[in-house]
A = this chain, B = another copy of it.
């Protein structure tokens, strides 16, 4: 009964059979009385194929051409979906970024959406069309195509929902929703019915599989109600929206893990002001994202400094750390790629106490040594040896009772 933006990921449009299935879903949504805008990703594998071509032809592809190349996958899928809808008797109209237009800001390959003009889409919706928008792309004033980074079609969908003041933004993917943890390593993982933007952002390592983090930030900023659902069944999915009292009754919402980081330690760093900047500035200048930072006092006047970076940045980060260590006359640089980060996430942690100690206790009981700890308002992360990842996730999931539906919250709700 309103305006719904639906986004279908690459697996949902992986072949013609699935595209036809999507066309049926879209038409059903329209028949239920809604205006529908659909955002599509490229057919599964297509973007990777195009990136492969670019890298084969040029080790360092010029980004403007790279974007022109890899954005073609969404042109194909959006036209095919429009054809599929039309062949089922519907009225669909595909739009590329320059036809909407969707304006980009920032460079190529990882641009942001600056503005979406809604006039063309509104006109088409009012004429009864289903509007199919190619995801992942935007244009600048010269008409150059910019892409929005991997998973950027989610961002297209949320930005469209915000610009059109849509009632709902449905993100269709190949999983049923957001789970309390990875069901592949923890069979008692449970689908979450409702989760807050903040929580899903902190659960990046889980969330990234179903939602592009930047799109969640955008949804948070504009209050776009998201639903993460599967396009292969009719299960209700997970609602992502602003946190409320009810959600905060649940202290821990999920257990996340990340095996893609590595640990770098610089020993015997002189303990004086400005040293941290000397280490982390050259890293940020090289676009290396540092996640956790821990500083331990080891002996008088010296400290050991440990931090984590993405595994793909390991060699570059090591080189920089060694240069800085030499300059600071610090000790050796040690690299450990065999780590993983396990986190518990929950809005309720803001007010609850004892959560951290319960986490540490749980890991200790399982014989897992904690190498680093980092906390935020709604997340506690521990770095452990990576071979214990699955064990840690299962023990924490069980310790915080995540396999059970949050009954307390419902009970408390009735009291209100």
Contacts and interface: CB of A to CB of B under 8 A. Distances in A.
A93 B64 contact: yes
11 contacts: A16-B56, A53-B80, A58-B83, A61-B87, A65-B82, A68-B75, A68-B96, A69-B75, A71-B75, A98-B143, A99-B144
A57 B16 contact: yes
How many copies altogether?
2
Contact of A79 (B59, B66, B82, B142): B66
A53 B46 CA distance: 14
A404 B53 CA distance: 46
A78 B57 CA distance: 13
Contacts of A75: 68-69, 71-72, 75
Most chain B beta carbons < 10 A, residue from A62, A83, A98: A83
Contacts of A145: 96
A72 B42 CA distance: 12
Contacts of A83: 54, 57-58, 61-62, 65-66, 69
A65 B53 contact: no
Interface of A: 16, 19-20, 50, 53-54, 56-62, 64-66, 68-69, 71-72, 75-76, 78-80, 82-84, 86-87, 92-94, 96, 98-99, 142-145
A65 to B, nearest CB: 4
Contact of A57 (B50, B62, B87): B87
Nearest to A74: B72
A80 B144 CA distance: 16
Nearest to A77: B69
Contacts of A98: 98, 143
A92 B87 CA distance: 40
Nearest to A82: B65
Nearest to A91: B62
A300 B78 CA distance: 63
Contacts of A60: 87
Task: Enumerate the 7 nearest inter-chain pairs by beta-carbon distance, A residue then B residue, closest first.
Answer: A58-B87, A69-B79, A68-B79, A65-B82, A99-B143, A72-B75, A72-B72
